[in-house]
Amino acid sequence: MEEKKRIFSGVQPSGTITLGNYIGAIKNWVDLQNDYECIFAMMDMHTITVRQTPAELRKRTLELMALYIACGIDPEKSTLFIQSHNSAHAELAWVLNCYTYMGELQRMTQFKDKSSRHADNINAGLFTYPVLMASDILLYQTELVPVGKDQMQHIEICRDVAQRFNALYGDVFKIPEGLLVKSGAKIASLQEPTKKMSKSDPNPKGYISMMDDFNVMAKKIKSAVTDSEGVIEYRPDDEAKAGINNLLSIMAVMTDSTPEAVAREFSGQGYGTFKSAVAEAVVEGIKPIRAEYDRIIADKAYLQDIYKRGAESAARIANRTLKKVYKKVGFIVD
Ligand code: TYM
């Protein structure tokens, strides 16, 4: 039997999970589970590049896991674990730090962005964050990494570092590829539609949290910034149309359609009618997830059993790679 290709991905439990995270990443993972061997983690180690409240971080890590499962990630099919439970991530990150250049890291837009937002805490972890992310991916000999567009630059650097390491020591790492969803790889802010929807947006009207009250979700969509043209058309390259393009993409994903088809369906109608339809589709899509979520989050023993088993299988795979790396660089391993 041909072995299934391996997938790795994860979300940071750093704040609320947005509709962007769901559409750009988690929803896509659900579809991939049947055809690939999937490993999904809660990336808690990444979150401390920005100060977190410890008790909240613990709570959000479990909530994120419950949300993965509620969205349709099946723990019997996919491996689910908490990043900090597998020390191989930190260990490989140290090694790869020594094979990554300052200049490469300085170019990362997320670093530039986060260091301007947290000017009082530009720590070394924030700078080397992509190396930890590369380690997450490379430890599992991952072939595909399903992420949103904003993470593609990190996948590029991961590939570069892996290729550099392989060039020195032979085929140690599989070279991974990023995998984007067809529509929705970059869900935009509802208030500033040329920017991405982000959980760190100081204006909560800009994003939809998967945990928002359903009325609030609908309200946010109905007050989404659009344009004054009054025409429902999908013009992905036209910035003036960014708001409408975004709503079309959201609607397309929530109704299993395409932005073009949705635009045809609503052509000639007013923005108000269209926004109400989008709001309804989003709320109806999230409702069953929330019901599942409420059930799962109440069962801590179930969650604990899954993340413990997950950490064991993750460690088994990761330690093989780590041992190989240690040997190659000259550490005594046996
Ligand atoms: P994070 O937690 O910021 O986001 C999680 C996933 O959601 C996607 N995403 C979006 N997709 C579409 N539209 C948006 N507005 C939007 N906002 C977020 C992200 O692209 C991502 O796929 N560094 C990563 C977490 C990580 C990781 C990894 C991912 C750590 N190690 C290894 C893959 C493999 C992050 O901060 O994602």
DSSP 235-304: -TT-GGGHHHHHHHHHHHHHTT--HHHHHHHHTTS-HHHHHHHHHHHHHHHHHHHHHHHHHHHT-HHHHH
Q: Which residues line ligand 1 (CB under 6 A)?
A: 8-12, 20-21, 23-25, 43, 46, 133, 136-137, 145, 147-148, 150-151, 185-187, 196-197
Specify the pLDDT at position 183.
Answer: 84
Cβ atoms of 65 and 42 closer than 8 Å: yes
Average pLDDT in the 65-73 region? 98
Domain covering 204-294: architecture: Orthogonal Bundle (1.10)
Q: Would you state the pLDDT for residue 2?
A: 63
* pLDDT tens for each residue of 240-293: 999 999 999 999 999 999 999 999 999 999 999 999 999 999 999 999 999 999
pLDDT for 1? 53
What stretch(es) of the chain map to CATH 3.40.50.620? 6-180+300-329
pLDDT > 80? residue 33: yes
68 contacts 80 by C-beta, under 8 angstroms: yes
Checking if the pLDDT of 111 tops 80, the result is yes
Q: State the Cα–Cα distance between residues 78 and 35, nearest whole angstrom.
A: 11
Q: In the structure, what pLDDT confidence band is assigned to residue 3 with cuts at 50, 70 and 90? A: confident
Q: Which atom belonging to ligand 1 lies closest to the Cα atom of 188?
A: 15
Q: How far is the CA of 303 from the centre of ligand 1 (A)?
A: 22
pLDDT in tens, 128-143: 999 999 999 999 999 9
- Distance between CA atoms of 189 and 242, rounded to whole angstroms? 10
pLDDT of residue 118: 87
Fold adopted by 6-180+300-329: Rossmann fold (3.40.50)
Could you confirm whether 196 is annotated as catalytic? yes
Strand order in the sheet with 144-146: 79-82, 37-42, 6-11, 144-146, 177-179
Please report how many Cα atoms fall inside a 13 Å half-sphere around the Cα of residue 166, on the Cβ side. 15
% of residues, the chain, pLDDT over 90: 95
Q: What's the pLDDT tens digit per position in 161-190?
A: 999 999 999 999 999 999 999 888 999 999
Residue 18 has pLDDT above 70, yes or no: yes
Mean pLDDT, residues 193-222 taken together:
96
